[in-house]
Amino acid sequence: MAEEPHMRTPRVVLGVCGGIAAYKAVEVCRRLVDEGVHVIPVLTDDALRFVGELTFNALASEPVQRSLWDEDTPIPHTRLGQSADLIVVAPATAHTIARYAAGLSDDLLMATLLATRAPVILCPAMHTEMWEQASVQENLATLQRRGVEIVPPESGHLAGGDSGVGRLADPAVIVARALAALAGIVSSDLAGVRVVVSAGGTREPLDPVRFITNRSSGKQGHALAAAAARRGADVTLVTASPIRLAPDLGASVHRIDVETAADMERALGEACRGADVVIMAAAVADFRPKVSAESKLSKEDGLPELVLEPTPDILAGLVAQRSKGQVLVGFAAETHDVINRARRKLDRKGVDLLVVNDVSAPGAGFDHDTNAVAILHAGGGTTMVPLTSKDAVANAVLDSVIAHQKENRSPT
């Protein structure tokens, strides 16, 4: 991994479980260190039956960690989990896969996996019969749905002398996948870029205690703000959501809390002046009560008449006031005929990219930790992002923004 200005050394926890393929984890460790990655090996007790601690101590960036009780500090798993940019488990045994799917924290590796928000890559290795077991496949599907990346085993000779699927993926493949995951986390490809993100569902008051809103949690917008900040951008987050950002983003994200569509329109109008990239992930209310009562509505006064009026189309206003070179990204929440409706919305809205999510699909859209989107490019072309974490979706959107900027940069 080439050292760029502003780039920090990425930290990877390398989990090694008890399988014959544990010897290949040594190669994964060495290659990651060669790529400039800070590697912390965490070995299970069974892994230590297959491969020596000394080997990893000689090659890794830190000595092997093996127990919750080795260090002076009583909580090594939170230190490891919170400071990791990525966790790679190679080989991942059927036992560890089952423990992870069930959320069991019965050793240091499992506790670290549960105490992290970093992306996780699992590289299973086992005999073909074990690999094909419905329980193993279902556990892997569960983990994948939660955003865990799986590097599947290869087919070939196995330890018992037989052949079949189950051999650990080639260390070069595992390292390539790890570096790809780290590129979205620690690269500084947005250094100096001013990014504005909107998030959450606006609240339109009926009276001082009641409001109309929608199911948006703000998770997707906040993931975008966090990902942009981690990639070096100066970020302004205009949010109608109460969720908190990670403490390490305090300095690089300027947060503006808003409630209504009108508040959001004002805040964005200001924030977007001079911005390089604007991403509208907020679910802005399309209608609001025409009148918001000054005092609490009461049954005693009879059934109130609810008259709605349209809210301002904020995105349309931003398109109208956009400065030269500013990249505008809209979102679309659809439930049917998703791509066709999104393509029409892209043309109508006049944005550069439109990110569409089928909010009726399992695990996608409102309030989930995962999402599945299609990123439609105004110049044609679509990038599909299958179900994954909202962080991974955020990085895919930012990758498309950068690709768009490169394509449209006028030659000097």
Where does this chain bind ligand PMT (CB under 6 A)?
216-221, 261, 280-284, 286, 311, 313-315, 330-333, 357, 359, 365-367
**Residue at token pair 């993100």:** 197
Residue with smaller CB distance to ligand PMT, 52 or 362: 362
Distance, CA of 371 to chain centre: 9
CB contact set of 384 (below 8 Å; sequence gap of 6+): 374, 375
The DSSP secondary structure of 332-364, one letter per residue, reads EEESSSHHHHHHHHHHHHT-SEEEEEETTSTT-
**Torsions phi, psi of 149, nearest 5?**
-90, 135
In angstroms, how far is the first alpha carbon of the chain from the final one?
Answer: 29
Contact 213, 285 (CB under 8 A): yes
Give Dmax (Cα) for the chain. 83
Structure tokens at 76: 């090594």
Q: At closest approach, how far in Å is the CB of 349 from ligand PMT? A: 7
Tell me the three state secondary structure of residue 87.
Answer: strand
Beta pairing partners, 155: 165
Contact 345, 354 (CB under 8 A): yes
Confirm whether 139 is a catalytic residue: no
The DSSP secondary structure of 5-26, one letter per residue, reads TTPPPPEEEEEE-SSTTHHHHH
* Residue 186 CB-density burial (10 A; 0-12 exposed, 13-18 middle, 19+ buried): buried
Contact 288, 204 (CB under 8 A): yes
Q: Which residues are catalytically annotated?
A: 214
